[in-house]
Amino acid sequence: MTTTESRPSGRRPAQIVDMSWDPITRIIGNLGIYTKIDFANREVVECRSTSSLFRGYSVFMKGKDPRDAGFITSRICGICGDNHTTCSNYAQQMAYGVKPPKLAEHITNLGEAAEYMFDHTIFQDNLVFVDFCEAMVKATNPGVLARAERTTAPRGDVHGFKTIADIMQAFNPFEGEVYKEALKVSRVTREMFCLMEGRHVHPSTLYPGGVGTMPQPNTFTDYLSRLMHVIDFVKKAVAMNDDVFDFFYEALPGYEEVGKRRILLGCWGAWQNPDVVDYRYANMNQWGRAMYVTPGIVVDGKLVTNNLVDINLGLRIMLGSSYYEDWVNEQPFVTHDPLGNPVDMRHPWNQTTVPVPQKRDFDGNYSWVMSPRWHHPETGEHLALDTGGGPLARLWTTALSGLVDTPYVKATGSSVRISLPKGESLPETTLEWHIPKWSNTIERDRARPYFVAYAAAMALQFLEEAMGMLRSGDTKVYENFEVPDEAIGCGFHEAVRGVLSHHLVIRDKKIANYHPYPPTPWNASPRDIYGTPGPYEDAVQGQPVFEENGPDDFKGVDIMRTVRSFDPCLPCGVHMYMGKGKTLSTVHSPTYGASHG
């Protein structure tokens, strides 16, 4: 739970203004951010995150043939639909007791690697960096732009830009050099995806039990040729991002407080190891730890667990400030997991979704998003985990776990080392992401290009192993199975923007209960029954305002940078109120700040 800090001395009388950004469009619902800003003391004193759309997949999945689950759930999202299909197949394979052939796992991993490269590139360079580009910085912080024009870019020998302002200019929308190049890279990486999964973004060749992709030599060589075409862009992206983000820390002392919250990170793991995974729940800890992105939960900078069974049993879906009827007095679907561990009534296996439409009330219920939490078995806390936008949590848990050790990626215990081969113009390069001091806006954004490099590096390994199998004549990509009368299954994966789980209950060969939990409900959750704010709310609330504009022409760029750092699906659809806002008639002294781990 967020705790308060003592208000510093020398503060001015509060000048509180209500300001909202609604909708911030995304696939899973419509996101709105409602704030109270103290312009006298330049800080956000209160934040509410809302969603105005009910989706209902957990309702209409009931009674369906479970084999259709992957095709249906991919429609949850128009960006990361393949992540849902993959995760659904993982859950089904556990329920059916089927293990896909190794080559099928390599093909799935290659598709997901291409998706990470595609989505992170288009989001970072064409959406996030609009908030850091020359045009935006000129409108919100002209003093910072003037300094950027005088500041030499330290990594110019890699990316080719002389000053920080030159990089910012290259990210100007529709006109900037890097902005346009990123669009081309996104096209190429989408082509790579389609070679493996057939169609973007709703795969046509991913099934429980394997894939329908024909494993021919040109399937993999066409993927490799495209990968090598973009490999130098990946190296330059890391250098450009490091230069700009390091500059912001220097140019705006205290900027580390923007979007900073207690380090509460969750990662469910990505890319199955075909030599270890068997999808049996009894072995889930073993094959989970063998993933090429290590699952885990990090609290206050320390790794609490990287066991998927622990992660699974700790899941709690709380109503809090959301528009639903409680289900705790109903009969549970699952009382114990396959290992005999008791399953909580608020676990996704037992959830029943009963929507209760009502008027939005910020003192009561105000969102269609529930409040997923993870129950810490030692402290008893219900932790409002966030994903760090996806890459921050993935890199952090992998680094601390120290389990990933491949020819191209190595976790050291405090960093992740990524080796990329020589490209068209740049030499062989080793990049190293180090665990940062903070979980904040800049570090969420900084992690993203590093994870693009991570995905590119792992794709090289998957290609080598897949082509080796092909040369040996091992081309099997599908395993038959039967749908059982009764079964349960769970799938854990990483959507582009973070944790993704699917929980399935089968009765009479039909879906009796199905609950997918993507990253957005975790990040966009409202206050829970204990009053704990969700990650968006917590990260924005208490952060300082560095924008030089006052209430009359306030752009809210620091707030938008924080929300976007979580990658909240299609944030390009922000509708901003550009007027003077609404000054509250009752002046009060709201709680200052929040403790940051």
- d(CA 82, CA 428) in angstroms, rounded, equals 31
Residues flagged as binding site: 77, 80, 569, 572, 575
**Residue 416 and residue 426 in contact, taking contact as beta carbons nearer than 8 Å:** no
Q: What span, in angstroms and rounded, lies between the C-alpha atoms of 395 and 111? A: 20
Residue found by looking up tokens 């403790």 in the block: 595
Annotated binding site for Ni(2+): 77, 80, 569
406 CB-side CA count, 13 A: 25
DSSP H/E element including 131: none
- C-alpha distances out from residue 288 to 292, 327, 378, Å: 9, 30, 22
What is the strand order of the sheet 264-267 is part of?
A: 264-267, 296-299, 302-305
State the DSSP H helix or E strand holding residue 118, giving kind and residue range, or none if neither: helix 102-126
Q: How far apart are CA 420 and CA 424, in angstroms?
A: 12
Residues in binding site for Mg(2+):
575
Tokens of 486: 């009764």
Return the H-helix or E-strand segment holding 434.
strand 429-434
Q: Are 118 and 189 in contact (CB under 8 A)?
A: yes
Buried (b) or exposed (e) across 186-201, using 16+ Cβ within 10 A? bebbbebbbbbbbebb
The binding site for Fe cation comprises 80, 572
Q: Measured between alpha carbons, how far is 252 from 561 in angstroms, rounded to an integer?
A: 15
